[in-house]
Structure 1
C-alpha cells in the first residue's frame, strides 16, 4: 500500500463511497445488512487495488440529521455505539488519505463541496459505490452526469434491499446517465487514467 505522501493531489479517476458508513438503524436495514456486507468486502478489495494505482477515495456520507457532526464523529458512532452497520464500517474504515464530504440529501453534490473537490483533483471519471443504488447512488450519478463526469457504477459495489430494484436502478443509470455498469473486476482502469 502507498504511504500517505505518495498519494497525488491530482487523479483523473476517483472512487466515491456513498453512505456505507451507516448505522443501518432504519426500516429494512436488517434486510440490507447482508447485501451491504457483501458490497463492503468488494469495495474494500477494489479500493485496495485503486490505492496501489494512487487513485483516491472520497467518502460521501449522510449526516443522519446530525447537523453538528463531522465525518469522524459519524465513523465513531457507527463503530462504537453497537449499531447494525458496525461490521460494514469496520470493513470500510477510512484511512488518513481518504477524502470525505458530508451530505444532507440524496445526491453527493447537493449543497456539498464534492464538485469543488473533484475539480481540485482533476477528476474525469467517477466510480460510484455504496447504498442505495436506487436512491443516493442514482441521484449522485445523475448529478455527476449533468456535470459531464464519466460515471461507472459496478453492480458488485452497490447495495439495495431488493435485487430487482437494484437491477432497475442500474439500467436507469446506464440509460439516463450513460453510466457504465461492469463488475469492478472488469474495469480497465488504464483506459481512464
Structure 2
C-alpha cells in the first residue's frame, strides 16, 4: 500500500515493527455458545494478559479489535462499558483485559479485523510488519483476520495458548491451517521472543 505521508494529521502514533492484536475478547459472551466459551476464554485471557504486559514493556503497540455485536451506534468504549457493568457472562474477561489508556481500538462490522475498518491504515502508520493475533474465535474472526494479514504480507504469530474456538478440535484445526497455509508461528506465547521481534527490522 502506497504511503503518501508519515504525518497522521499531526498526531502520529507509535512506531514499532510488531503489533499485538486482541480480537473480540471484550465480549459479553451472551450468545447460545457463550457458556461453552467462558472457561476456555478465561484461560486464554490470562495468557493474553501476560503477553500484553510483556509487549507493553517493550513499547509494542496493543490493538483491541472488537465486533460491534449489532450495536451500530456504539463505539468501543460503550462496548467495554457494557461488558464491565451490565452483569454479563464475559465480565471477568473484560476486567482482566481492560484496555490501558495508550492502547488502540478498532470496531469491526464483520469477521476480519481488516474488513471495512481503520486497521490497515493504523498498521501502516505504526510501520508494523509482524502481527501477533490473539482472541476468539480461532476458526472465525482470528482465522479471517489471519487470512487478510497474510495476503498483505504480514508475518504472523498465532500463539496456541492465546486463541480458542467453540471446541478444542475446532481450535486445533484452525491453528493447523494457519500454520500450514498462512505460515503462522503457533508456539505458545511464552516461547515468542518479543525482544528479537522488536529488533528484527
2:33 paired residue among 16, 28, 37: 28
1:132 paired residue among 130, 134, 137: 137
1:106 paired residue among 107, 111, 114: 111
1:192 paired residue among 194, 197, 200: 197
Whole-angstrom distance in 2 between the partners of 1:187 and 1:42: 12
1:171 paired residue among 176, 182, 186: 176
Whole-angstrom distance in 2 between the partners of 1:87 and 1:190: 30
Structure 1: which 4+ aligned runs deviate by more than 4 Å?
none
Contact map agreement 1:57 1:99 (CA 8 A) in 2:
yes
Structure 2's unaligned 5+ residue stretches are 1-12
Aligned to 1:155: 160
1:9 paired residue among 14, 23, 32: 14
Aligned to 1:4: none
Aligned to 1:61: 66
Whole-angstrom distance in 2 between the partners of 1:190 and 1:87: 30
Q: With structure 2 as the length reference, what TM-score do the two structures score?
A: 0.91
Matched length: 186
Q: With structure 1 as the length reference, what TM-score do the two structures score?
A: 0.95
Whole-angstrom distance in 1 between the partners of 2:144 and 2:150: 10
Contact map agreement 1:9 1:121 (CA 8 A) in 2:
yes
Answer yes or no: is 1:43 the counterpart of 2:18: no
Deviations 1:127-168 (A, max 9, x none): 000000000000000000010000100010111120011000
Contact map agreement 1:44 1:92 (CA 8 A) in 2:
yes
Aligned to 1:94: 99
Aligned to 2:123: 118
Deviations 1:36-78 (A, max 9, x none): 1001111001100111111110000000011110000000000
Whole-angstrom distance in 1 between the partners of 2:61 and 2:54: 11
Contact map agreement 2:58 2:195 (CA 8 A) in 1:
no
